[in-house]
Amino acid sequence: MSAETEELQGFYDKSVAAAKSGYPEIDADRLAAFIAAQPGIEGPVTLSNFIVPQSSGASNGILLFTAEFGRSGERRREDMVARYAPGTTMIKQKSFSDEFLTLVAAYKRGLPVPEPLWLDADGSAVGYPSFVMARIEGTPPASAMYSKGPLADVSPEARKAMMLEAAGFHGRLRREAIGRDELPHLLARGSGETDIERELNWFLAEARLSSEPDDPKLEPIVEAHRWMVAHQPAVREGTLVQGDSQIANVMFRDGRLAAVLDWELAYLGHNEADLALIVFLTETMKQLDKHVDGTPTEAEYLARFEEEAGAPAEHYDFFKLFPLFKTQCILLSGRSFQPAFEQVWTYYLAHLHAELANAKRIYGD
């Protein structure tokens, strides 16, 4: 391991901790009143067993709790999760309404996602834009996915099976083909003539919202954006993509996928980009977190994705650029939370340049 990557080890844990250190606490009384006001809920509503996860969720406030309330004349106790805006948001264009509505569509299709319950889009009830969802039983995910969470203390064989199942989910999502008729709210995400352009433009706007106009760090992002728009391939119409497919957003139970979490970056596009992020993080997290055995190869990931999708991956070499481009944009959005921003920026930028050079060999300069 180089001195550079050794210095970056623990980056994800440090970033999450730095972000969460400034998050406000949600008001439990206001949250209880919000739940009590929902149709079919009978008071009184009492909340208990509060837990604030510390190893995941850098861009949102997250509160786990138990709610006791009445429904149809009977008292009930249910475990729930509140996801809320953390004051100063890392992702400037974040929409809690969009994320909630996307979860509604995915849940209706029977996908393994938490059941979305209630939305406070403007924060007028709870105090922050937020929504409440049912809590899934399982091992909590962790941003440092090899040293903590469900992938940490398992055999290499079990680790590989779990990681392949996570990739398979994105193939299944492609097969489901949840389109714009079920997700009309995502049509307003970004501007452009194609699904590819809209998504790239959304992230470029995110980077610019967090940078001065003359920031030199915008230059490689703009250059990559320009090339990707000019060389975008002809592809199928975009359908639902989760948008942040790192396995740190997957909850497992008894070694099997229980739920896919964190749909705030969902968009209408092409699931091959999410597959590319899984493949990329599988190897880079061995440098940024810890080395482990029993991880799938790129070929194994592709085979599982295509099996679940029921179709071959399209323009995978082009979509390998998506997660690297997006990572640079998000790094600018969250630079104030990053304890080793310059080193991380340089590390990921080198990967973007290398992948862009590879794409140019295939698609032209």
Q: Along the 365 residues of the chain, how does pLDDT read in single tens digits?
A: 455 545 555 555 555 555 444 567 899 999 999 999 999 999 999 999 999 987 655 678 999 999 999 999 999 999 999 999 977 678 899 999 999 999 999 999 999 999 999 999 999 999 999 999 999 999 988 888 999 999 999 999 999 999 999 999 999 999 999 999 999 999 999 999 999 999 999 999 999 999 999 999 999 999 999 999 999 999 999 999 999 999 999 999 999 999 999 999 999 999 999 999 999 999 999 988 999 999 999 999 999 999 999 999 999 999 999 999 999 999 998 887 777 899 999 999 999 999 999 999 999 99
C-alpha closest to that of 137 among 38, 239, 240, 66:
66
Pairing status of strand 239-241 against strand 61-71: unpaired
Burial of 134 (0-12, 13-18, 19+ CB in 10 A): middle
Strands in the chain per DSSP E: 42-51, 61-71, 74-84, 116-120, 130-134, 239-241, 250-253, 256-260, 267-269
pLDDT computed for residue 335 by the predictor: 85
Residue 316's CB: how many other CB atoms inside 10 A? 18
Kindly state the tokens that stand for 44: 């009184």
pLDDT digits (tens, 9 = 90+) for 102-161: 999 999 999 999 999 999 999 999 999 999 999 999 998 888 899 999 999 999 999 999
For the packed helices 298-309 and 272-288, what is the interaxial angle rounded to 10 degrees?
Answer: 150
C-alpha closest to that of 309 among 106, 169, 103:
169
The domain ranges of the chain are 29-134, 156-363
Residues with Cβ within 8 Å of 148's Cβ and at least 6 positions away in sequence, in order, are 13, 55, 142
> Could you confirm whether domain 29-134 is CATH 3.40.50.1100?
no
Kindly state the tokens that stand for 361: 């060999």
Q: From edge to edge, which strands make up the β-sheet containing 116-120?
A: 42-51, 61-71, 74-84, 130-134, 116-120
Cβ atoms of 131 and 122 within 8 Å: the answer is no
Gap between the Cα atoms of 104 and 186, Å rounded: 13
- CATH class assigned to 156-363: alpha beta
Alpha carbons within 13 angstroms on the beta-carbon side of residue 314 total 14
C-alpha closest to that of 273 among 349, 171, 151:
171
CA dihedral of 113, 114, 117, 121, whole degrees rounded to 10: -70
Cβ atoms of 173 and 179 within 8 Å: the answer is no
